[in-house]
Amino acid sequence: MRRGDVLIAHQRLAHNLTLNLSETTRKNVFFRVAHALIDDIVDEQIRSPTPWVGFEGLAEFIEEGAADFAGKRKSSKKTEKASPAVSSREFFSGGDLRLTREQKETFIKDGFVMLPEAVSQELVKTALDFVNQSYEDGKYNLNGATRPGAKRPSPAFYKPIQRAPQIVDLFYKSGLVGVAEELQGKGNPILRAKIGQVAYNPTCELYQEQGKDKTKPHPKNNWHIDAGNGRYAALGSDFSFLVGVCLTEGQDVDESRGQFTVWPGMFTKEPRFTNHGTCLNAKC
The tens digit of pLDDT for each residue in 135-148 reads 888 888 765 444 44
Check if the beta carbon of residue 170 is closer than 8 Å to that of residue 195.
Answer: no
What pTM, to 2 d.p., does this model score? 0.61
Q: What are the residue boundaries of the structural domains of the chain, listed by start? A: 6-276
The four Cα atoms 47, 49, 52, 53 give a dihedral, to 10 degrees, of: -140
Q: Going by C-beta distance under 8 Å and a sequence separation of 6 or more, which residues neighbour residue 168?
A: 31, 91, 191, 194, 195, 196
- The answer on pLDDT for 124 being more than 50 is yes
Band (88; pLDDT cuts 50, 70, 90): very low
First to last CA, the chain: 32
Among the listed residues 213, 208, 194, 193, the one whose alpha carbon sits nearest the alpha carbon of residue 259? 213
Bond prior to 259 in cis (omega within 30° of 0): yes
Average pLDDT over residues 258-272: 66
How high is the pLDDT of residue 186?
Answer: 76
Q: What percent of the chain has pLDDT over 70?
A: 38
How high is the pLDDT of residue 73?
Answer: 38
Band (104; pLDDT cuts 50, 70, 90): confident
